Chains A and B, each alone.
Chain A
């Protein structure tokens, strides 16, 4: 199979990830409960993963790295900690349903959407300058659009938020493991990310990175292995947000995924994936049957196209029959399509990982050229 759906989930994982999960299943239990060797091994594993993540994403301390089920879970915690009914929130026009649905569920929230053109970071910054007014309680911005691979100017937006005292939530779902995520440098309140995309961990893992001074509210209450006589959740991290038994086996895999990314290096990863998607974009443009959304000036691991002569879903299904995996549709981000003008059809999305090759790009182009 040629797999170009890594923006959803990376299929190919480093061998060390699978080995770690398999080893953990037979050797570790849950941290913070018993004090026997299996529980201790679990505790060491969890702290190692928190520490590695804190280093990679510039989080002040390992306690501020929270294990979640996925980025959606992390975003829900962050959003519901900062936003209450009656509040006003600013979001970019490229947010995922993982952002817009929680805001809708809170109810009575005024959402100001900054609709900047695709691949025009200056316009996006200008929009945030105008939107971040005094009544705004929080801002949410995706680092990279999951539909178009557009890297939004998060550093500049974070700077604006910091100066105006508005907490910022960064959705790093498409950037974690590919671009630098700098929680401390940005001064972000929170960053959310999945473990199963660019970090090459198993599905069912995610991270919420908490900025300094944040004390989020839990989505779940329950046992934490700490302060057990107290009926309120602990007022310290990570226990406050981690009720119930952890997905330790998968965290073992995530730890190895993070180590893989650190060893390979973000610059190298971004360049490799960017070159693949650039070559694919150029090839598709040459075919003349696609509207190709790409920024020629920056690398991207995600490439969306709209076929001019075929329904996106039909094209994706046809390629699936030819053993090419990709995704068509709205990619759970209808707002991004409304902003970019592709809401009617959606797009066909190609997304790379470090396990893709130029030979695969060429093969996909041959298949598309042959119809």
Chain B
């Protein structure tokens, strides 16, 4: 079997497993969903039974899953029994918001981390290296919501430069969108600088010892060109993987930061669903987040192999 065929086969298995768990979430979570759902409208025994039947809770888990999956592939993830909104619409409203936040955070992180990783590798062991490492490490130890408080306190309260909580859709105002998402993106991104720059630094240090880098120096190329053209690309595959994992997890993982800044993304939706015991919305959002995570990781894996043909050969023969 070819590398890609094997990869896609594994992807399908993982997707089934992930959605199965998401569908089973209703049963796995403590409490009786039927009581909660029906209870919202003062339930009788018949009503409870009706809810259970609707959710497939009377059936064995696999039957419930197949029913859920059948709807899900038609993009029918059910309807909130509180807001009466389609879960599908909730996702299409919220996902772009979280996606923007993730994108801004990644851009900020990479803009700082890549030059830092390159230069700390080049200057490995110097005072500059140690200082940069110390500072980024401190940011890594700053939980993102704590950094969020700090940024709100400084930029919104003390200096009154940026809003503490003012999400504007991109379609309304590009400037307003950027302004509203800058602090949350910084909260998410600054801590990751340490992860990215250290990873790149280590790979760069290894690359800088390669003969082809010495060769580039022996050609008399300026050190900037040696670092950026000859050394960066072969060193960036490890970084790419971690960026991929982060992209996948930040779509639904920015829960606390979205709460701190009241950004109407997937994270805030999850919190709302949990607080309201909105099982259907919770199930749909969790399934969405997990599927995105799996798909992004799959794409990174494929991209990795495309970027470096040698990896494809090595992996196919090792697997």
Decide whether A and B assemble into one complex.
Answer: no
